[in-house]
């Protein structure tokens, strides 16, 4: 009589091998979440009062009113101008900083300087930067352009630098072996490899800046955000909801155009 074969079932190994460490981290996380919820100053009575207030806001917003379409159009025109100018400036400025921040083509001091600029550009949310620029240059679209330009440098520069670090190095070596200068190597061996990525990032950044221009406008940096803030301040909820609907429509159209361009490029 033959013995029954022992079947073994493969199990995926745990991410943390030690059970003591694994369960300790789980219990510590659960304890921290409980402690954070227990110590944060939630005002439940105020939250309960806010629910009917939110219902009044949503009730007052329907149906949305497009009667002041001229004001709506002028706000969006300014937002689009801010986003377009900031994207152009930000993308153009991000290219030299990306080259400086690429470890494989920049000397170490230049690399550290480029990375520092990108890190500083990415350190703060656009709203915080917009507040600083509004204090520095005053209310209006200039503060919005400066804010979104800095934001674009941080985002596009970081991703572009990482793209440069992953290029096919054979083309660079071939150019150097032929005696090409540093600038010629960049133009003919590096930039052609990152061009599709650069176009895709530029389109995405324009899309992102359109959304961000509405947010920074709330703190006085121009665009449709200022119009939206004024509408909420006057309890003009139907007009505010009309603005929100148009923002959603603009973002959808922008997303469609961005996807179409990326398909054409790749």
The third-level CATH classification (topology) of the domain covering 69-263 is: MetI-like fold (1.10.3720)
3-class DSSP assignment, residue 122: coil
- What are the per-10-residue average pLDDT scores of the chain (266 residues)? 64 81 93 89 79 79 80 84 90 90 87 90 86 86 89 89 86 84 85 82 82 81 80 83 85 77 65
Report the greatest alpha carbon distance in the chain: 93
**Which among 128, 121, 198 is positioned nearest to 167, based on CA atoms?**
198
pLDDT of 139 reads 83
pLDDT of 29 reads 95
Which positions ≥6 away from 188 have C-beta within 8 Å?
175, 180
Q: Using CA atoms, how far apart are residues 136 and 144, in angstroms rounded to an integer?
A: 12
Report CA-CA distances (Å) from 124 to 9, 132, 151: 50, 11, 9
Q: Using CA atoms, how far apart are residues 126 and 148, in angstroms rounded to an integer?
A: 7
Is the separation of the CB atoms in 151 and 121 below 8 Å?
A: yes
Residue bearing tokens 């079932």: 9
Domain ranges (residues) in the chain: 69-263
pLDDT of 212 reads 84
Q: At what angle do helices 141-165 and 191-216 cross, to 10 degrees?
A: 150
What's the pTM value of the predicted model, to 2 decimals? Answer: 0.76
* HSE, side-chain direction, 13 A CA sphere, residue 11: 6
């Amino acid at each position: 009589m033959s013995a029954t074969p022992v079947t073994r079932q493969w199990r995926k190994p745990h991410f943390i091998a030690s059970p003591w460490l694994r369960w300790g981290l789980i219990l510590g996380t659960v304890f921290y979440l409980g402690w954070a919820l227990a110590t944060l100053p939630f005002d439940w009575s105020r939250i309960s009062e806010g629910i009917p207030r939110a219902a009044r806001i949503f009730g007052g917003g329907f149906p949305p009113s497009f009667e002041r379409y001229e004001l709506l159009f002028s706000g969006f025109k300014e937002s689009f101008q801010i986003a377009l100018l900031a994207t152009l400036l930000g993308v153009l400025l991000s290219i030299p900083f990306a080259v400086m921040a690429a470890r494989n083509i920049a000397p170490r001091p230049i690399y550290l300087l480029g990375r520092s600029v990108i890190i500083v550009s990415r350190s703060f949310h656009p709203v915080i930067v917009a507040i600083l620029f509004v204090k520095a240059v005053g209310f209006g679209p200039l503060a919005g352009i400066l804010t979104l330009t800095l934001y674009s440098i941080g985002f596009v520069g970081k991703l572009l630098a990482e793209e440069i670090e992953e290029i096919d190095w054979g083309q660079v070596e071939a150019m150097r072996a032929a005696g090409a200068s540093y600038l010629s190597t960049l133009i003919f061996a590096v930039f052609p490899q990152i061009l599709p990525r650069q176009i895709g990032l530029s389109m995405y950044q324009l899309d992102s800046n359109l959304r961000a221009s509405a947010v920074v406008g709330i703190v006085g940096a121009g665009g449709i955000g200022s119009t939206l803030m004024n509408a909420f301040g006057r309890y003009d909820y139907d007009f505010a909801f009309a603005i929100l609907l148009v923002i959603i429509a603009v973002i959808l159209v922008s997303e469609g155009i961005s996807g179409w361009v990326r398909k054409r490029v790749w």
